[in-house]
Amino acid sequence: MQRIERAIHWIGRQAGWLYVIICLLTISETVIRTVFDAPTIWTLEMSLILAGTAYLLNGASFPQATGHIRIDLVYRRLHGWRRRFADAVCVLVACAYLAVIVKWGAEQALSSWSFSERSGSAWNSPLPIVHKTMIPLAGFLMLVALLCQVLSGLRSGDTPNTDENRPS
């Protein structure tokens, strides 16, 4: 379980480097546009592709930061079985939501791939295909991360979403 959780966390951290590339693209586009008066037709869409990908892949580590998705004002007042019940409800709702995202996203991605959907811009990038493919992939990674966290909590006997287990 820990290997899977570490791999998902690693994917999310590596996706963060895409923001560095976006920054470099933006700087180079600005220089090329201002100094050489030669704007590119692809920089904006490439930045959108990379930003969407980074955003979705970074989201896969959301189960490791559960404090950001709970209502702490209420959760901190719960103890014992009530807290475990709240955790169970949250996990069930999150799993159902992610399953729908994966299923719906996969249908959209397959449709997009089947007719080679393009952006329709001057560059005509594969932006729709990339984003529609990343949605079910990120949803699947989130679902796996969440299930790993729950199974790890069950093995250790801990409540997986307690503040003590939240990574710093």
Here the tokens at position 130 are 């990339």
Q: How many separate domains does the chain show?
A: 1
Q: Calculate the alpha carbon distances from 63 to 93, 96, 127, 145 in Å.
A: 13, 14, 27, 6
Report the pLDDT value the prediction gives residue 64, as an integer from 0 to 100: 62
Here the tokens at position 61 are 């580590």
Residue 21 near residue 165 (C-beta atoms within 8 A): no
Q: Calculate the alpha carbon distances from 119 to 80, 116, 156 in Å.
A: 52, 10, 48
Report the pLDDT value the prediction gives residue 83, as an integer from 0 to 100: 85
Closest CA to 26 of 39, 14, 17, 37: 39
Closest CA to 138 of 97, 168, 166, 92: 97
Q: List the domain range (segments joined by +) for residue 25.
A: 2-165
Please report, in tens digits, the pLDDT of each residue of the chain (168 residues total).
Answer: 788 888 988 998 899 999 999 999 999 999 999 999 999 999 999 999 999 999 999 887 766 655 555 677 888 888 888 888 888 888 899 899 999 999 999 999 999 999 999 999 999 999 999 999 999 999 999 999 888 888 877 776 655 554 444 444
Using DSSP, state whether 125 is helix, strand or coil: coil
Report the pLDDT value the prediction gives residue 11, as an integer from 0 to 100: 92
Report the pLDDT value the prediction gives residue 84, as an integer from 0 to 100: 83
